[in-house]
Chains A and B, each alone.
Chain A
Amino acid sequence: MTPHRNIGFVAAAATLLAAAPLSAIFERWTWLVQAAIVVSVVAGAAALSRLGRAPLWGQLLAMLAGLTLGLTWVFPGGTELLAFVPTPATFAHFGDLLQTSLQDMRAYGVKVPDVDSLLFLAVLGIGAVAVVVDVLAVGLRRPALAGLPMLAIYSVPVAVYVDSVPATPFVVGAAGYLWLLVTDNVDRVRRFGRRFTGEGRDVDVWEASPLAAAGRRLAVVGVLVAVALPLAVPGMTGGLLNNVGAGPGDGTGRPGQGGTSGRIDLFAALSGQLNQSERFDLVKVTTNEPNPFYLRLGVVDDLRPSGFQARVPTGDQVTRELPDPSERAPRGVEQRTYRATVEVTKNLNMPLLPVYAEPVRTEDLNGNWRYDANQQVVFSNRENARGKRYSFEYVRSTFNPDALRAAPAPPSESAVMRQGTTRPTVPDVERLVTRLTEGRKTNYDKVRAIYDYFSVENGFTYALSTRNGSSGADITDFLATKVGYCQQYAAAMAWLVRAAGVPARVAVGFTNGSNTDGGTYVLTNQNLHAWTEVYFSRIGWVPFDATPAASIPGSVRSAWAPDTDAPEEITPSPGSSAAPGAANPSAGPDEPDRLDKDADQGLAVGESGPARQDTVWPWWLAGALALLALLALPALRRSALRRRRRVRAAPPTATAVAVPGQRGETRQIVVGVDAEAARADAHAAWDELLDTLVDFHVPVDGTETPRATAERLTREALAEDAGAATGVRLLGRAEERARYARDPLTDAELQPALGTVRGALAARANRRTRLLAAVLPPSVLMRWRTALAERSARLVTTTGQARQWMVRWSPRRLLAGRPAR
């Protein structure tokens, strides 16, 4: 096998390994089989083209052709020649698949079933990555770059799972990448020459190269930093470590029940059993609303044959402005704003916060909490509701049945319709719904018909457990046995409403309970409840509680969904049927579209409102100040240094003592402290001159004597300025006298000379240099850099010595045949 083909094979395999994270998205492994087929076709095309010594662009074309053929074969459109030669119709089919996949991406939550469109998208992506990886690794011999497209695959589950990305698939992908790197390096070494491994003469001596030690150290430091940094940064706590520490998520909580783990399974099962032996407080809520509707916790709207599942909520931070429901208020919908305060006990351990429907403003919640405008739930990917206390304002809407009746059907293409009416097809249910809704014109009437169906009259009773049926489908069993608790009622009603073509979902939360004191409700695990919400165009989600009210403490009935078991009190007034036309005469035909669009936008991630500046700006200000202080540090250091040198250069009082010389003459000798002071002054002035030179980018040479430096400056930098030339000569002379002579120069005016020289240097430098010298003096930076380098060098030396010392005790020295070190 030639090296190139070998690398090509490894590149293909590494691509497949790198695709492992997709397993977190798909339910089954079909995608892997299909991806393997396509990737091997691509790799084969690449190998063939290389066999024919095709240039790089030829290889690329061949791989693209292979990708097309493979895709055609795996996802046939029915019009292919010989089952794998694509025709224009095939590409149209591909286009359709792509279109569908875009919609399905919204429609399905993870994990997605084997839908052709999504499979096509995944396989297409993997195949494209395989092409890119092959080009980078084999064609360009830059396998390190191939990590980028591989990382792109990994980013898919990262984008889908906001917080808890599975780690194992990433390890698999990384292993593939490393395999590719190793293969490439082995190939390089092999082409370079022989590898010195194995037993050979004088080559089995294990001798770590110094670079290898440095590499190991770097790797260790890198890993440590990578692990420590997220722990140090606040907010980044949801990583691998936390998952490891917390253990696997507790999935054993019974449906609808707050178990001891504090978790509530968001699942509205169509069969099951409640075990309510224990009872403990979960939430304490205080509101100024007289008779509030249920406190919502979450929403389950992903209908499976066994019941409703939760979707991953998406939305903006609650600290931002929340969507205002007041615009969805046609006539007949009354909206009032109330305020509630919620205290969550330690027993509720969920990433969701219980709130009343449609909160408009929150308090005491940080930016980690987000609000899903569509599901109307407050959730977090990082925090937990446990022990939280917060307040919010919410809008309570009460709906007039006439207004609901007047609501038009949502456009069938809207996301709400698509998502809200998806259901498995069960013929019994469809038949029942057809029977119930026969003759009903408006959505509300259909919903009411279904709602009314779940009544004692029709034999529905409340029980803490369902009875087993024989049909094999939970929904049919429930509809046949007519025994269940809130989950079954809510889910069954939602299913039936969906079957009637009206979007519906199940909301999970708390009833008002029985433990009330004025406006304060203490809610326990036994108050957990599920109910149905039905979507009405221009109005939004309207709650219907189909569970028999008598069995539920604290249940609430409303004008639009009266207690079916109570005597009928509210009858629709005959005149209200005229409402559809009159409801919104001024809205115009585009009104429903706009509102539906709004509902759609509620689904989209990252709907941005204006950020609330008042909580953020102090941080920005503090950060900017800190940055400024940091930037000003070198300049401050420089000016402090200069000031200190100037202070030290106070004019010395020269005490010249005349001493008799050896032959009768006298010599002037400057004695004692004054000489020392003069020396220090000269040194300070000279150091300041050198720093100034560095600041103004005049070269400083360590091999030059002061005199030579002064002469060079006179010759080059200060040639035009006679005063400065004299000054620098004076400085040089003072320094050399201070360094080398018996008596330093005492009566020199060093500071004025220094000022002149600095002025001349500044005048000579360009503006940028001057600015840098003032703001970020290179002398200070260089000194810091040098100090850092020296310290690290000392550290390395110490480490090396310690290592040497340790090696002395290494048992390796005792082994025969090993040279002792």
Chain B
Amino acid sequence: MTQQTWDEVGGLLPHDEFRAASEAIVANIEQVIAGKTATVRLALAVLLAEGHLLIEDVPGVGKTKLAKSMARSIDCSVRRIQFTPDLLPSDVTGVSVYNQETHDFEFRPGAVFANLVVGDEINRASPKTQSALLECMEERQVTVDGVTYQLQTPFMVIATQNPIEMEGTYPLPEAQRDRFTARIAMGYPDPNAELAMLDGHGATDPLAGLRPVSDAATVRRLIGHVRQVHVADAVKQYAIALVTATREAPDLRLGASPRATLQLLRTARAVAALEGRDYVLPDDLQTLAVPVLAHRIIPTADAQLARRTTDAIVAELVHRLPLPHDRQRSPYDTRPGHGTGNGRGPYEPRRP
């Protein structure tokens, strides 16, 4: 294979170059998805963090449009899978077929052999098919008939699902959800954006006119840049504290996995880079905590009865968790209101 594998990407890019490339992608996607800059940037951040994206929202808010416009903006191989109940794992991964001419089995790659894989309505496929994605999403490889095939870099699965209409669907298993770096909701557009959408989408589909502004090589360089973003120890501690908090929170039956920590930090790097910084801030983690962590955790029955969504639980944790401070402090400088030394644990209710 001529394409690079995923850990051979390069180092730090000049700031301007990174900014220009990333802004171009965002602007391009925004031609289709109006007024959703934050969502679009987050989606791009997930791409740069070498993660996978789960777009979950009600029908008709542009989930598929986002996925497709992102795929179109980058000049790379794109495959689309429409998950249906009768889809088979071999449709996803590929299958070995017998070649009459060579008298041998030959591998025919499935849909995942692309840089961007758009999986539409992923929860409509049976668990059998869904689990075909497990290996490729995490390990970036496909093993069929004992032969392992590496996937290309960048590799990103953008899946959509509908959380409301559950009839005839198979909810994603925990292992599957954990493989998605972030889950984002599109949300309804604001009136102005909707008006612009009416004007723009009235006659033609803007998606058809979308031209790629970047290519796989550029994206690989961007990814390489993101990997170099500095993460201070304090930020790492904060990430660990956040994830630990989900594991210890009384409202949660299952907390976030170590993979979540890793992906949280990776995505934070990407977000920081997209904002033009070469270091990660706790602010980035705070922003990303809900998209990255909320879909991995399972609330307790009590919390479910109380109609507390995982988003709300994670947001509350973020609000309660004090920032760690590992920096050098003078002995006399015990700053009030910081750290665990202020006499209250991390889960006490926030004081007004």
Contact = CB atoms under 8 A, between A and B. Distances in A.
Interface size, A (range): 35 or more
Contacts of A741: 230, 232, 277-279
B138 interface: no
Interface in A642-688: 661-663, 665, 679-680, 683, 687
Given A661-B12, A740-B235, A705 B342 contact: no
Nearest to A665: B14
B17 to A, nearest CB: 9
Contact of B334 (A705, A739, A787): A787
B319 A742 contact: no
Given A705-B286, A741-B232, A786-B341, A690 B335 contact: yes
B321 A703 contact: yes
Contact of A740 (B279, B333, B337, B343): B279
B232 to A, nearest CB: 4
Interface string B271-307: 0000001111111001000000000000000000000
Interface stretch (A5-13, A73-81, A207-215, A694-702): A694-702
Contact of A736 (B281, B325, B338, B350): B281
Nearest to B325: A739
Contacts of B323: 702-705
A198 B227 CA distance: 70
Given A694-B336, A701-B337, A708 B283 contact: yes
B253 interface: no
B61 interface: no
Nearest to A711: B283
B31 to A, nearest CB: 31
A664 to B, nearest CB: 10
A707 B283 contact: yes
A703 B318 contact: yes
A665 B13 CA distance: 10
B341 to A, nearest CB: 6
A234 B206 CA distance: 94
Interface string A10-52: 0000000000000000000000000000000000000000000
A206 B318 CA distance: 43
A595 to B, nearest CB: 71
Contacts of A690: 335-337
Nearest to B329: A683
Nearest to A785: B336
Contacts of A704: 323
Contacts of A683: 327, 329
Nearest to A741: B279
Nearest to A738: B327
A71 B243 CA distance: 79
A524 interface: no
Contacts of B279: 737, 740-742
Contact of A641 (B328, B332, B338, B341): B332
Contact of B282 (A663, A740, A779, A790): A740
Contacts of A790: 341, 343
A704 B318 CA distance: 9
Contacts of A708: 283, 286
Interface in A683-733: 683, 687, 690-691, 694, 700-705, 707-708
Dominant secondary structure at the A interface: helix
A783 interface: yes
A738 B279 CA distance: 11
B336 A783 contact: yes
A789 interface: yes
B85 interface: no
B322 A703 contact: yes
B320 interface: yes
Given A700-B337, A782-B336, A740 B234 contact: yes
A739 B232 contact: yes
A779 B13 CA distance: 45
Contact of A702 (B14, B232, B234, B338): B338
Contacts of B322: 702-703
A511 to B, nearest CB: 73
A707 B281 contact: yes
Interface in A779-799: 779, 782-783, 786-787, 789-790, 793
Contacts of B328: 680
A700 B281 contact: no
Contacts of A742: 230, 278-279
A782 B286 CA distance: 28
Contacts of A701: 337
Interface in B220-259: 230, 232, 234-235
A687 B277 CA distance: 24
A779 B12 contact: no
Nearest to B238: A705
Interface string B10-49: 0111100000000000000000000000000000000000
B94 to A, nearest CB: 38
A702 B339 contact: yes
A789 B318 CA distance: 26
B333 A786 contact: no
A793 B320 CA distance: 22
Instruction: Give the residue among B11, B234, B334, B336 with the most A Cβ atoms within 10 A.
Output: B336
Interface in B307-333: 318-323, 325, 327-329, 332-333
Contacts of A789: 343
A793 B318 CA distance: 27
A700 B283 contact: no
A786 B338 CA distance: 11
A659 to B, nearest CB: 13
Nearest to A641: B332
Contacts of B280: 740
B343 A739 contact: no
Contacts of B281: 705, 707, 736, 740
A786 B334 contact: yes
Given A662-B12, A703-B321, A687 B234 contact: no
A64 to B, nearest CB: 51
A736 B336 CA distance: 18
A794 B87 CA distance: 62
A252 to B, nearest CB: 63
A641 B235 CA distance: 28
A687 B333 contact: yes
A409 B311 CA distance: 102
Instruction: Give the residue among A700, A739, A740, A782 with the most B Cβ atoms within 10 A.
Output: A740
Contacts of B335: 687, 690-691
Given A662-B11, A662-B12, A740-B235, A705 B336 contact: no
B255 to A, nearest CB: 19
B14 to A, nearest CB: 6
A701 B334 CA distance: 15
Interface in B181-238: 230, 232, 234-235
B343 A786 contact: yes
A389 B222 CA distance: 98
B221 to A, nearest CB: 10
B227 to A, nearest CB: 13
Contact of A779 (B232, B321, B325, B336): B336
A702 B322 CA distance: 5
A258 B336 CA distance: 70
Q: List 8 tightest A-B contacts by C-beta distance, closest first.
A: A702-B322, A741-B279, A740-B232, A700-B337, A705-B282, A702-B337, A702-B338, A742-B230
Given A663-B11, A690-B336, A740-B235, 7 more contacts: A661-B14, A662-B12, A703-B322, A704-B323, A705-B281, A740-B279, A741-B277
27 contacts: A662-B12, A690-B335, A700-B336, A700-B337, A702-B337, A702-B338, A702-B342, A703-B318, A703-B319, A703-B320, A705-B281, A705-B282, A705-B283, A708-B286, A738-B327, A739-B325, A739-B327, A740-B282, A741-B232, A741-B277, A741-B278, A742-B278, A782-B336, A783-B336, A786-B341, A787-B334, A789-B343
Interface of B: 11-14, 230, 232, 234-235, 277-283, 286, 318-323, 325, 327-329, 332-339, 341-343, 350
